[in-house]
Amino acid sequence: MFWKIRAEYYRRINVRLTLIVTLAAAVSSIVVYALLLASLFIGFGDQDRGELDSRLLSYWAAWQYGGNDAVLNRASLDMKEYGGRPYLLMLDSEDGEMLGALIPGGWEQFNLKDPDLTNLTPGSYATLRAESLPYALLLTGVVLDDGTRLLVGLSTENHQFLVRMYQRNYPWALGAIILAGVLVGIISSRRLLSPIVRLNQEIDHIIITGDLGRRLDSSGTGDQLDGLINRYNRLLDRVESLIGGMKDTLDAVAHDLRTPLTRLRGHAELALGKGDAEEYEEALATVVEQTDQAGALLSALMDIAEAEQGMLSLEGVSCNLSTLAAEVSDMYELIAEEKGQRLTLEAPNEVLLSGDPVRLRQILGNLVDNALKYSPEGSCIDIRCGFSDETSWAEIIDDGPGVPEEETERVFERLYRGDRSRGSRGLGLGLSMVKALVEAHSGSVEISKVEGRGASFKVVFPRISEENISKA
C-alpha cells in the first residue's frame, strides 16, 4: 500500500518539478562549493609561496651585505615592526650545525632536520607535518655562497582554520539551499501548472455536463501553456461546430426520410390491399424509385456535412477550369436539346486553379442543372470562365425567373425550396452542395440579377499561376 501511494505521489508533475528544482539547486551548490574550496586551496598556496619567496630574497640580500648577523637582525626587526604571521628562519652550516634561528613556539614538533630540506632551492618548496598539530609547515630555502643553508617557513594554520570553518558551515548552507529549492519548486510548479489544472477541471466539467460552450481565459503571456489554452479553446470551437453540424444533418435526414418512407409504406399497403400482381409490380417499381431517392438524399447530406466541417477528402491537383466547364457542357448538352435550350461556352484556353476535378465538375454540373431546370424552353444558358491576378472563376447565366433578393442567402440552405421551385423536381440540396464544395476549395459563391436575363451564379477560387505549377 505504501509503495503504491508513493508511486502515485511521484507521478504528479508538481512533485517531479519540485524534486528537479531542489536537486538542481543542491547539485549547483555542491559544484560551487567544490570550486570555491579548490580556489581557496590554490589561492592560499600561491599566497604562501609568494610570501616565502619575498622573505627569502630579502634575507638573502641582507646576508650578502652583512652575513648571518645581518639576516638575524633583519628578521628580528621585521617581527617588531610588522608583526603579522609567525614564520621560521634558520641558518645552518654546511655540516648541519645551526648558526641561528627564529622558531615560533610549538614548531619544534616539526622535523626541521628532514634530509629533503637540504635540497631546497629558490622556487622549490617542502611541506612538513606533525602528528600532534592540525596544520603544516611550508618551507623554501637557498644555499649561500659559503655553504650556509638559509631556510624560511610559514605555517598553514590561519588558512586551514578558514577552510575548516567553510567546510563545517557548508552542510547548514546546503540544508538551507535544499529548503529554499523545495519552497521555490512548490511555488513555481503551482504557478506553472495552474493553466493545466484549470484545463483538467474544464474537461471534467464538460465530461459531466456535456456543456461545450465553456472556454478558458487566456493569460496573455504568449508562452507554451498559454498556447495550449488557445488550442484547447479552438479545439472546443471545432468540436462544437462538428457536433452542431452532425445534429443539423441528423435533423435533416430524419425530416426528409420521413416522406419517402411514408410513400414506401403507402404504396406497399395499397398493393397488398388490392392483391393484384400488376399492382405488386407497380408498387415494387415505386419502392425502388423511392429507395434510390432516399439513398441520393443521404449521400448528398453526408457530402454537404463533410464539406462544411472540413472533413471531405479533396484531391488537390492542378486543374483547368475551362476544360472542366467544356466537359460539363458536353454532358448536359443532350438534356438542353430535349428542352429546346442552348448551352454556350465562353472560356479562355487556361483558367488554372488547384482542386479536386471530380468535385469541381460536380459544382459546375449542379449549377448548370439548376439553370436548365428553371429556364423556359428555347432559352439560352451561358457558361463563362475567366481569371484575374489572384482568382479563377466560372459563371452560369440563365434566362429563368431569377432569385428574389430576400432569398439570396436562403437558397444555399439545405432542403430549402423557394416559392418558384415548389413544383420542380429535385431534393433541394444542389445549391447547398455547391456552396459547401466551393468553400471547401477556399472559394466563394455570388448570386446576382442580370439585366434582361435571369440569375447569375458565379463561383470564385484562388488562382495558381503557370510558374507555380511548373515548380510543383
Average pLDDT over residues 254-283: 68
pLDDT higher than 90, residue 198: no
Element (H, E) at 173: helix 157-209
DSSP symbol at 107: G
Indicate the class that CATH gives domain 317-471.
alpha beta
Report the pLDDT value the prediction gives residue 375, as an integer from 0 to 100: 87
Report the pLDDT value the prediction gives residue 394, as an integer from 0 to 100: 92
Q: What is the DSSP string of 109-164?
A: GS-TT-GGGGG--TT--EEEE-TT-SSEEEEEEEE-TTSPEEEEEEE-HHHHHHHH
Report the pLDDT value the prediction gives residue 427, as an integer from 0 to 100: 52
Identify which has the larger pLDDT, 379 or 452: 379
Q: Helix, strand, coil proportions of the chain in percent (round to 5)?
A: 60, 15, 25
pLDDT higher than 90, residue 460: yes
Give CATH superfamily name and number for 2-162: PAS domain (3.30.450.20)
- Give 424's Cβ-side CA count (13 Å radius): 20
Collapsed DSSP state (helix, strand, coil) of residue 345: strand
Share above pLDDT 70 across residues of the chain, in percent, rounded to a whole number: 77
Which pTM value belongs to this model? 0.49
Give the strand order in the sheet containing 98-102.
98-102, 87-92, 149-155, 136-143, 126-129
pLDDT higher than 50, residue 268: yes
Mention every residue, 6+ apart, whose C-beta is less than 8 A from residue 337.
none
Which residue shows C-alpha cell 627569502? Answer: 56
Domain ranges of the chain: 2-162, 243-308, 317-471
Report the pLDDT value the prediction gives residue 459, as an integer from 0 to 100: 92
Domains 2-162 and 317-471 share a fold: no
Residue-level length of the chain: 472
Measure the CA–CA gap between 387 and 348, rounded to whole angstroms: 9
Considering the segment(s) 243-308 as one domain, its CATH architecture is Orthogonal Bundle (1.10)
Contact (CB, 8 A) for 373 and 425: yes
- Give 49's Cβ-side CA count (13 Å radius): 13
Identify which has the larger pLDDT, 274 or 144: 144
